[in-house]
């Protein structure tokens, strides 16, 4: 009889231990949030991102997750948390001064995107643009302090077989240093994936097609249109804003939008 009692007690202890372990596993099971920070660091200092208590400091991946000086942000991480809902803030800190220059609460969803432009020691306001179900809204901010001359923005491609040129103007007489928004439905000659693969986005001095807007340099005044994910045929209701500035060896374009499954 004592043996049976001991055996029963042992089984009960094992059951309780197993149940406790399972509960601990459930409690410790992490949830994942996809976090993207779009934007541009216009300062001379590196910026450091923190998600709640997780700091993506310089020692991690040799500093690859810092927003480098005068570059666009490419921060794209899977953030794991162990609470029922995400908590805390997404913050951006200037490593030189130690000052927090941007802060937003982490949302209670699986994907979070933040748009942040840091210019002249402060955050540049990014205006909200209302969606239009019958069209698309494109927003542009041209950051160019060397000139205030007006700029034309257009899509351009040349047919490799026929040599025929196609051009579609997104905006004319745009001024650096201010936001502009335009309605856009995919133009007939730029409406497919194949067409956009061969298309560039150009910035020229107003009224010209070959006088380059930025430092009189073609490379600094154009970029692949495909990499900017412009709306294609049948796509409407999208809102896509861009921050544009000439970099050292290329045109820097920060996409200030995120559509899961599309980009």
Largest CA distance in the chain: 101
The reported pLDDT for the residue numbered 84 is 83
**90-107 pLDDT tens trace:** 999 999 999 999 999 999
Number of H helices, E strands in the chain: 2, 16
- Structure tokens that stand for 190 in this block: 């730029």
Residues 70 and 134: their CA atoms lie apart, in Å, by: 37
**CATH T-level assignment (fold) for domain 31-123:** Immunoglobulin-like (2.60.40)
31-123 and 136-255: identical CATH topology? yes
Q: Which residues of the chain have pLDDT under 50?
A: 1-27
Residue 111: enclosing H or E segment and its boundaries? Answer: strand 111-119
Rg (CA), the chain: 25
Pairing of strands 251-255, 136-142: unpaired
Q: Supply the CATH classification number for the domain 136-255.
A: 2.60.40
**145-180 pLDDT tens trace:** 999 999 999 999 999 999 999 999 999 999 999 999
The reported pLDDT for the residue numbered 28 is 55
Q: Are 39 and 73 in contact (CB under 8 A)?
A: yes
Domain locations along the chain: 31-123, 136-255
């Amino acid at each position: 009889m004592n043996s049976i009692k001991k055996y029963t007690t042992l089984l009960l202890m094992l059951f309780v231990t197993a149940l406790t372990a399972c509960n601990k596993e459930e409690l410790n099971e992490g949830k994942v949030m996809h976090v993207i920070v779009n934007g541009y660091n216009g300062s001379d200092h590196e910026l450091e991102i923190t998600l709640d208590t997780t700091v993506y400091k310089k020692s991690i991946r040799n500093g690859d997750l810092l927003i480098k000086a005068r570059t666009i942000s490419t921060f794209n991480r899977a953030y794991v948390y162990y609470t029922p809902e995400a908590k805390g803030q997404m913050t951006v800190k200037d490593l030189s001064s130690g000052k927090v220059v941007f802060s937003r609460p982490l949302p209670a969803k699986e994907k979070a995107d933040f748009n942040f432009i840091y210019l002249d020691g402060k955050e540049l306001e990014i205006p909200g643009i209302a969606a239009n179900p019958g069209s698309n809204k494109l927003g542009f901010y041209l950051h160019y302090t060397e000139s205030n001359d007006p700029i034309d923005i257009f899509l351009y491609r040349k047919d490799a077989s026929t040599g025929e040129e196609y051009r579609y103007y997104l905006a004319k007489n745009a001024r650096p240093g201010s936001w502009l928004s335009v309605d856009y439905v995919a133009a007939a000659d730029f409406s497919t994936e194949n067409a956009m693969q061969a298309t560039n986005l150009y910035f020229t001095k107003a009224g010209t097609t070959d006088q380059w807007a930025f430092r009189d340099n073609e490379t600094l005044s154009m970029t692949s249109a495909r990499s900017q994910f412009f709306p294609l045929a049948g796509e409407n209701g999208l809102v896509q804003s861009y921050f544009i500035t000439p970099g050292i060896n290329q045109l820097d374009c920060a996409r200030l939008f995120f559509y899961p499954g599309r980009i």
